[in-house]
């Protein structure tokens, strides 16, 4: 429920941003957490900090023309939402997926502001992308698209201004083409203008693994806070992209067993535990579908329809995309004995699903907190670039684990302080909000 004092703020957001459902969903969730904060700190209401926070500092929408291998012309749309720079340069990934539109980029950018604040690092929030679909495109086509995209975007970027990274459909290959074009146009080797780079040319160790590993570190903290353990738990990880693959890797390293994962064509059930080498080969190297995984490995079933959440598991990690876990899926997880849900993707659980988790006492780790390991490690990448240094894998992973542990503790103590003990959603929203709001109040009306 949104507090009476904040209802008009929410109605204004909805009427000023029509047809942006995902953005409404994301702002609503934050506003539902802020009631106890404005009761304690009415100054935020007087200064209209929440309204300022819901309005991006700058929104850039541009045309991206490119030609495919047959010489046929395509026109895509590019976006960059520079949401909030109170704590540092705008920071957040680029998503290439046909579903990308203004409402999706804005919800992602809004979430990013709070997430980045929670890391405790000096980074603002932003997000961008395009409705371009890299699936089935040759390397040369992806390169031409990335070059056209950056030919417009470069003028808005800079290591002190706006620093993009990857997201759905944007991995090391795309980051390489984007950085190459930026370098060519600006004639500057400005490493820290983009993160998620290959470790061969300025990327950080552990950045590739960071979001998935970080989500598992967060889950481990959540279970340990209840005197439990991740070891031996049966898990589901949805998706089979960057976040999912490294969540599975860390879960296996910690002695959990992942029995199912998915892609946009269905899901696989592998009761013996996912064969990670095979999964990486099929999805990351060959860029094939999960049907190929099922063909090459015995004892696996592939389900083109139905829900991955129908499989019994104790701890689950939605790591594919927004709103992929519904209220009905949540009810099925509860019935099958699920004890914890940890979001690796951004806003993968619907509001109805989160209600079901609360009603059934299922621990819930929201994306802002649980998947912050990716952007936190991006900030570590910027730090290494600035000092022309590169850190070793274990040192960097240690830093990541400590950051996740701090975020976990901050969420719990903030939830306690604001009267909702154990509620990680409130903890994450309020702690992130307070840090950004303090900086915004200090800067005045800018
Ligand atoms: P990838 O593109 O590497 O992987 C995405 C995976 O999700 C793929 O397996 C894809 O299937 C599947 N997927 C995408 N859209 C859908 C859909 N509509 N229905 C079903 N499955 C779908 O992206 P990432 O792993 O990088 O990102 C996954 C999520 O994590 C996103 O929400 C992203 O915003 C979030 N995130 C990512 C971070 C990062 O560091 N990469 C940081 C923080 C959050 P297919 O193979 O068929 O395309």
Tell me, what's the pLDDT at 134? 95
- Same structural domain, 145 and 216: no
Looking at the CA of residue 262, tell me the nearest atom of ligand 1. 9
- Same structural domain, 147 and 241: no
Please indicate, yes or no, if residue 445 is contained in any of the structural domains. no
Cα–Cα distance for residue pair 156/21, rounded to 1 Å: 27
pLDDT class for 374, splitting at 50, 70, 90?
very high
Domain that holds residue 263: 210-365
Please indicate, yes or no, if residue 392 is contained in any of the structural domains. no
> Which of 131, 157, 191 is where one domain is finished?
191
Tell me, what's the pLDDT at 390? 96
> Which of 365, 389, 418 is where one domain is finished?
365
> How far from 293 is each of 110, 249, 285, 287, 317, CA to CA, in Å?
36, 17, 12, 11, 20
We report the CATH number of the domain holding residue 273 as 3.40.50.720
| Residue closest by Cα to atom 2 of ligand 1 | 168
Tell me, what's the pLDDT at 265? 96
- Same structural domain, 152 and 281: no
Query: Collapsing DSSP states into helix, strand and coil, what is residue 176?
Result: helix
CA of 221 to the centre of ligand 1 (A): 24
Query: Collapsing DSSP states into helix, strand and coil, what is residue 40?
Result: helix
Please indicate, yes or no, if residue 86 is contained in any of the structural domains. yes
| pLDDT 10s digits, 325-351 | 999 999 999 999 999 999 999 999 999
Q: Is 370 in the pocket of ligand 1 (CB under 6 A)?
A: no
Pocket test for ligand 1, best of 126, 241, 293, 325 (most atoms within 8 A of CB): 241
CA of 319 to the centre of ligand 1 (A): 6
Strands 340-342, 301-303: parallel, antiparallel or unpaired by DSSP?
Answer: unpaired
Q: Is 127 a catalytic residue?
A: yes
Please indicate, yes or no, if residue 311 is contained in any of the structural domains. yes
Please indicate, yes or no, if residue 390 is contained in any of the structural domains. no
CA of residue 265 relative to chain centroid, distance: 21
Please indicate, yes or no, if residue 420 is contained in any of the structural domains. no
- Same structural domain, 183 and 238: no
Please indicate, yes or no, if residue 433 is contained in any of the structural domains. no
pTM: 0.97
Asked if 268 contacts 262 with a C-beta cutoff of 8 angstroms, the reply is: yes
Cα–Cα distance for residue pair 263/304, rounded to 1 Å: 10
Pocket test for ligand 1, best of 168, 240, 342 (most atoms within 8 A of CB): 168
Catalytic residue among 91, 127, 233, 283: 127
Percent of the chain with pLDDT over 70: 100
Percent of the chain with pLDDT over 90: 100
User: What is the number of structural domains in the chain?
Assistant: 3
> Which of 306, 330, 365 is where one domain is finished?
365
> How far from 56 is each of 129, 243, 355, 446, CA to CA, in Å?
16, 27, 29, 12
Please indicate, yes or no, if residue 406 is contained in any of the structural domains. no
- Same structural domain, 125 and 231: no
Q: Is 374 in the pocket of ligand 1 (CB under 6 A)?
A: yes
Average pLDDT, the chain: 97
pLDDT class for 420, splitting at 50, 70, 90?
very high
- Same structural domain, 235 and 344: yes
Q: Is 243 in the pocket of ligand 1 (CB under 6 A)?
A: yes
């Amino acid at each position: 429920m949104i507090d009476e004092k904040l209802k008009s703020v929410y109605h204004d957001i909805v009427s000023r941003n029509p047809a942006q459902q995902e953005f409404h969903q994301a702002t609503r969730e934050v506003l539902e957490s802020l009631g106890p904060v404005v009761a304690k700190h009415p100054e935020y209401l007087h200064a209209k900090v929440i309204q300022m926070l819901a309005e991006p500092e700058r929104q850039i929408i541009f045309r991206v023309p490119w030609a495919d291998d047959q010489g046929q012309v395509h026109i895509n749309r590019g976006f960059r939402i520079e949401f909030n720079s109170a704590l540092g340069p705008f920071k957040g990934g680029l998503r290439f997926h046909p579903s990308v539109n203004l409402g999706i980029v804005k919800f992602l950018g809004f979430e990013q502001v709070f997430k980045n604040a929670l890391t405790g690092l000096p980074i603002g929030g932003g997000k961008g992308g395009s409705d371009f679909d890299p699936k089935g495109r040759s390397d040369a086509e992806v390169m031409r698209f990335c070059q056209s995209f950056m030919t417009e975007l470069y003028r808005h970027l800079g290591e002190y201004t706006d620093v993009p990274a990857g997201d759905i459909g944007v991995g090391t290959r795309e980051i390489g083409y984007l950085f190459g074009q930026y370098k060519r146009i600006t004639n500057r080797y400005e490493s820290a203008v983009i993160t998620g780079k290959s470790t061969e040319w300025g990327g950080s160790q552990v950045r590739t693994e960071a979001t998935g590993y970080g989500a598992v570190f967060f889950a481990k903290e959540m279970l340990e806070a209840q005197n439990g353990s991740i070891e031996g738990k049966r898990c589901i990880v949805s998706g089979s992209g960057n976040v999912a693959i490294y969540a599975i890797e860390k879960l296996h390293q910690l002695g959990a067993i992942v029995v199912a994962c998915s892609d946009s064509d269905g899901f696989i059930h592998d009761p013996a535990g996912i064969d990670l080498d095979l999964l990486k080969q099929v999805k990351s190297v060959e860029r094939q579908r999960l049907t190929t995984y099922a063909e090459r490995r015995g004892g696996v079933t592939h389900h083109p329809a139905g829900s991955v959440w129908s499989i019994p598991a104790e701890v689950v990690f939605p790591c594919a995309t927004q709103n992929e876990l519904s209220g009905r899926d949540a009810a099925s997880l509860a019935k099958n004995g699920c004890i914890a849900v940890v979001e690796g993707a951004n806003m993968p659980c619907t509001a109805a699903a989160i209600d079901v988790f609360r009603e059934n006492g299922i621990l819930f780790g929201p994306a802002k907190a649980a998947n912050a390991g990716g952007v936190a490690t991006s900030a570590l990448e910027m730090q290494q670039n600035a000092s022309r240094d590169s850190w070793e894998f274990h040192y960097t992973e240690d830093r990541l684990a400590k950051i996740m542990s701090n975020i976990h503790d901050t969420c719990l103590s903030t939830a306690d302080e604001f009267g909702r003990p154990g509620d990680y959603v409130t903890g994450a929203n309020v702690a992130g909000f307070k840090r950004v709001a303090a900086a915004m109040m200090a800067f005045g009306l800018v």
